[in-house]
C-alpha cells in the first residue's frame, strides 16, 4: 500500500512557526547587541535551528533584518494605538510587556544605526506621523500646517528623542531605566503637545527701531 504524506506531517522546520521563532530570536539578538555583531549562526543557535534554515526562510542577514524592521515597527505602532486612550500611562502599559520592551530596545538600536535601514526606519516613522496629522490618531486630532511633511518630521523627532537620548536623560533625572525615564517624561510631553511650551513671545516690532537700533 502506497502511503501519502499529509500536510500535517510536514517537517516543523519549514513551518511559519519556525520562521517566527527565528525572527523573534533575531530581534532579541539585534536589540541586545546591535546589528553588526549578531551572525546568522548565532541567531540560528538562539532559535534552536540550523543556519541553513535561517537562509531558507529569510535569504540573508539583510533579509532577516528587513523582516525584523517591519515586524517591530508594526508591533510598536499597534501597541501605541491600542493604549493611546490611557494617555500618560500608555508607555508604562506598553513597557509592562517584556516582548514590547525588547521591541523598543530594537527600535532604539535601529534609529541610531547609520545604515540605510536606520534612515528607512526614521522616514517610515515620519510617513506614519504624516498620516496621523491628516486623519487623526486614536481620537486625537492635530493642527494643520501648510508644510505637513516638515510638521511630521518635527513631531517624529520630538517623539523619538526621549528614546534615543534615554541614557542621557536617565542620568540627568536619576531614573532607574528606560521605562522609568519615559514614564517620567510622558505627562510633560503630552502637555507640550496640547498646550505648547511658550507662555508669551517678545514683541519684536515694538522693541526694535526701524533703523536696527535696540530701543531698550
Question: What is each CA distance from 65 to 36, 77, 79, 98, 111, in whole angstroms?
Answer: 11, 18, 21, 21, 13
Could you tell me the three cell numbers for 67? Answer: 523582516
State the Cα–Cα distance between residues 64 and 92, nearest whole angstrom: 29
Q: Could you give the 3-state DSSP secondary structure of residue 137?
A: strand
Residue 112: Cβ within 10 Å count: 12
Q: What is the pLDDT of residue 209?
A: 61
Average pLDDT, the chain: 85
Q: What is the DSSP letter of 174?
A: T
Residue 81: φ, ψ to 5°: -65, -40
CB atoms within 10 A of CB 51: 14
Q: pLDDT digits over 23-37, tens only?
A: 999 999 999 999 999
CATH topology of domain 61-195: Tetracycline Repressor; domain 2 (1.10.357)
- pLDDT, tens digit, 9 for 90 and up, residues 42-79: 999 999 999 999 999 999 999 999 999 999 999 988 88
Residues 211, 191 contacting (CB under 8 angstroms): no
Per residue in 74-87, pLDDT (tens digit) is: 998 888 878 777 76
Please check the confidence at residue 89 and state whether its pLDDT lies above 80.
no
Section 90-95 average pLDDT = 75
Amino acid at each position: 500500500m502506497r502511503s501519502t504524506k499529509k500536510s500535517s506531517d510536514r517537517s516543523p522546520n519549514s513551518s511559519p512557526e519556525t520562521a517566527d521563532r527565528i525572527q523573534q530570536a533575531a530581534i532579541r539578538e539585534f536589540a541586545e547587541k546591535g546589528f553588526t555583531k549578531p551572525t546568522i549562526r548565532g541567531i540560528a543557535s538562539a532559535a534552536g535551528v540550523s543556519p541553513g534554515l535561517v537562509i531558507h526562510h529569510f535569504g540573508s542577514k539583510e533579509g532577516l533584518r528587513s523582516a525584523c524592521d517591519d515586524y517591530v515597527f508594526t508591533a510598536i505602532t499597534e501597541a501605541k494605538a491600542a493604549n493611546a486612550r490611557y494617555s500618560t500611562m500608555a508607555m508604562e502599559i506598553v513597557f509592562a510587556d517584556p516582548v514590547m520592551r525588547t521591541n523598543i530596545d530594537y527600535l532604539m538600536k535601529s534609529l541610531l544605526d547609520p545604515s540605510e535601514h536606520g534612515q528607512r526606519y526614521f522616514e517610515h516613522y515620519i510617513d506614519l506621523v504624516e498620516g496621523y496629522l491628516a486623519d487623526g490618531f486614536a481620537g486625537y486630532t492635530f493642527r494643520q500646517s501648510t508644510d505637513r511633511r516638515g510638521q511630521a518630521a518635527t513631531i517624529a523627532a520630538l517623539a523619538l528623542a526621549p528614546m534615543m537620548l534615554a541614557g542621557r536623560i536617565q542620568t540627568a533625572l536619576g531614573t532607574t531605566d528606560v521605562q522609568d525615564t519615559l514614564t517620567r517624561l510622558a505627562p510633560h510631553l503630552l502637555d507640550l503637545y496640547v498646550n505648547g511650551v511658550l507662555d508669551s513671545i517678545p514683541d519684536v516690532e515694538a522693541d526694535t527701531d526701524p533703523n536696527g537700533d535696540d530701543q531698550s
